[in-house]
Structure 1
């Protein structure tokens, strides 16, 4: 038996040099050609699958890069790694200024330029990034929410700035804000256009009615600054008497005023505006053409119900800030506010939190049947509440991005309000940046402003006031 096995092994070894062992045991009916064909088919299919997945991966990467590009806008200095943001207007390629130029350096051409809207990346809740707002110092900006995109900036205001006494608008500033075409004369259309604005007004209906009555009493139907000063002084008194009676009809209790931040305003107010430009990374022209600064005082039990700062776009409405270039036949005017920068001027001892009732909800309707707009009753149930701390600022976007570097739909999650003050006094200020969702309308408005500023400057150059310093007459 062992001899037979040895003979068989010797025969295998002798045959192995000419033919592989597998050839001795070929299954009947199967050929080497068929096996090779199956192997080729499997390799080709595997190659096709790999190539398909590779191309899908490349397409996804390109799509992600395009999304980030259009969300941030070209030249957005914000980094995804949370490192220090490059200063706007630096050599990094951004066309945005680090801070607004001094009032004497403002150029009319800035208002004629078309631009996109940068958007700061939130990354994730709790993410902290460094921002440069003032020389020789960096501030920390923390992401508080992604829906809406909300940031907190401690120390946005210094202690001196927080305690700065702020005054109401002067008569000249009110006249300038009403004078839409800046021709030095108030027309009826300018007063009517302002009175049609549903919110964001800095004059009461009584004030506007008194001014309109005074204007209609003039033969030419126009008011100069001197005539307006007399009418405006009269309008202030009855308006103050009636405002207390009407206050209980609104769903909020607070006292507020509006502060002009343009040429001739207090240097602290101009500094705050420049800091908002640096924080938001927006072109200075947008901020300069926006609403005045709103300052609010909340006393004991004062509050504001949850609301949206901006409005949905509709064919029957027009933005209040672009009414000069907008549809004059629109039924109503609404506030179009791309973002809000709110900062605390004092720390309330108890209560007064800023609440975002539906922040980071899975769905906007997830409210369990509660009316979360009623901050008096449901303030404690809000998803996010920020305790007021003097000098701290909040930045949030009222609108989503349209994916093309401009303002999109209203962000429903930006619903917010102010909880009742339990003890102490709360001072706060709001700075809004007005943007028309219609890019062409915004550009047209800026061109009109630029043209009228240029025409006014030319007129002033050709009609210099006569100086009497060199005149002398002997009697």
Structure 2
């Protein structure tokens, strides 16, 4: 009945749509109140849902801020490679954990980059790259070998810069190379400044004069660099002979036999690359740090720019070596750097080196060679085995022909570069270890200097010293930084090699 009444009312409202609102039928007040209650319920539920999501969002933001705060607090400094490089003291006074503790005096920004060694890509032999070394000029860098990775940069130095470096070397004064040879065809002469007999060497090593040599007595003399009778190969031979003795000691007769073998390794290992460097030239060392001639300082900065290595590595490396080759002068094929052995340590990091190591060797990651003059005839830089498919020391001596002997076989080298004033060569003496650091010695970097036939050859060498142990290299740099802070007036801290006390800084 109520449904029929509502239908009649709706029909009347439709038919009388033009009537004023006061004459229309208004639904009962109860129905309107029920609609208002439903609307309130819907709005309240929506408000509750919005508030819940809002509170969850606020809690997430607060949690994220707390996480960032406690995981990246002021107590740690992270180096460029992502590892923690230094740790300071937190607000509570307790040192925050760090895998590599570092002194608070170290400036991390100065040394963190040293944990990565950029390396120029050779692409292929003959590939030319454009490099920017000086303002308003581009240099061409050409790949001339992949084994070793070797580049040639013409015009690296201007004619004026070459002249200044030569004049500075002449002003400094040149000295004869310590390793020279006798006349052609005679036995190699590479003896100490004082010629010592086997008995005299035995007596010098026998510290307690008990006529027996112990291991510690041999090791105590292993760091002497005044002669060549205790180089790494000699030491290995002597210690091998000592360990073979049941008593663990050497008598004079035992030492005479072992020492004779160590002085003539070719008798045991035919064709083995000789460790003794054979050379005839004159040379000197020029300081390149603060206070040096602006040409020398600029040259070092240019090396840093080309190699893209951290400036700290270049600055803490050896001074510039300048060499003069006259008529007949040469250098036999050799490696600029040394392979890594457990019984050796790098000479340049002696400050942080292993005190138990038997001897110190040169660790040179790369070589920059500068031609300061052109040569009319001869004097080429030769790489005897460059780009060979394989490297074999036995193959260096074939049918009586020794590729190491540049006096006789220089023309047979795989790669020969004629000196041209201003041209620079860059090659890597070591391979990469696959992790961005210095790896094994690149045996293909074997090189030498052909004899001068006509003219005079002036060259200079910049070596970048790197320790194969990256942690020891970093420790060395921290110690240098600490000493520099302790003595701010000191200009030069690098005193690593035997030549350090032989030259005076200009």
TM-score range, shorter chain: 0.5 to 0.7
Give the CA deviation at 1:110.
Answer: 1.8
Structure 2: state its 5+ residue gaps. 1-79, 82-106, 174-220, 229-275, 492-506
Give the CA deviation at 1:371.
Answer: 1.6
CA displacement, residues 57-85 of structure 1 (integer Å, 9 cap, x when unaligned): xxxxxxxxxxxxxxxx98xxxxxxxxxxx
Match of 2:333 among 284, 300, 306: 306
What secondary structure is seen at the aligned counterpart in 2 of 1:286?
helix
Match of 1:402 among 423, 429, 433: 433
Given that residues 338 and 441 in structure 2 are in contact (C-alpha distance below 8 angstroms), is that contact kept between their aligned partners in structure 1? Answer: yes
Given that residues 358 and 383 in structure 1 are in contact (C-alpha distance below 8 angstroms), is that contact kept between their aligned partners in structure 2? Answer: yes
Deviates more, 1:361-370 or 1:348-357: 361-370
Q: CA RMSD in A?
A: 2.6
CA displacement, residues 286-324 of structure 1 (integer Å, 9 cap, x when unaligned): 000000000000000100000000000000000000000
Residues 113 and 144 of structure 1: CA distance in aligned 2, closer, same or farther (over 3 Å): closer
Which position in structure 2 is the counterpart of 1:130?
130
Residues 250 and 450 of structure 1: CA distance in aligned 2, closer, same or farther (over 3 Å): closer
Q: What is the distance in 2 between the residues matched to 1:362 and 1:170?
A: 44
Q: What is the distance in 2 between the residues matched to 1:132 and 1:442?
A: 29
Which position in structure 2 is the counterpart of 1:371?
402
Q: Does 1:166 align with 2:193?
A: no
- Give the structure with higher Rg (CA): 2
Q: What is the distance in 2 between the residues matched to 1:371 and 1:433?
A: 30
Give the CA deviation at 1:404.
Answer: 0.2
Give the CA deviation at 1:364.
Answer: 0.9
- What number of residue pairs does the alignment pair up? 287
Q: Does 1:421 align with 2:452?
A: yes
Match of 2:356 among 329, 350, 362: 329
Q: What is the distance in 2 between the residues matched to 1:335 and 1:250?
A: 13
Structure 1: state its 5+ residue gaps. 1-72, 75-106, 172-191, 200-248, 461-475
Given that residues 148 and 397 in structure 1 are in contact (C-alpha distance below 8 angstroms), is that contact kept between their aligned partners in structure 2? Answer: yes
Q: Does 1:273 align with 2:304?
A: no
Which position in structure 2 is the counterpart of 1:318?
345
Q: Does 1:347 align with 2:374?
A: yes
Give the CA deviation at 1:168.
Answer: 6.9
CA displacement, residues 7-43 of structure 1 (integer Å, 9 cap, x when unaligned): xxxxxxxxxxxxxxxxxxxxxxxxxxxxxxxxxxxxx
Give the CA deviation at 1:108.
Answer: 9.0
Which position in structure 2 is the counterpart of 1:452?
483
Given that residues 114 and 313 in structure 2 are in contact (C-alpha distance below 8 angstroms), is that contact kept between their aligned partners in structure 1? Answer: no
Q: Does 1:431 align with 2:462?
A: yes
Given that residues 359 and 383 in structure 1 are in contact (C-alpha distance below 8 angstroms), is that contact kept between their aligned partners in structure 2? Answer: yes
Which position in structure 2 is the counterpart of 1:229?
none
Give the CA deviation at 1:257.
Answer: 0.4
Give the CA deviation at 1:459.
Answer: 10
What secondary structure is seen at the aligned counterpart in 2 of 1:457?
coil
Given that residues 386 and 414 in structure 2 are in contact (C-alpha distance below 8 angstroms), is that contact kept between their aligned partners in structure 1? Answer: yes
- Normalising by structure 2, we get a TM-score of 0.54
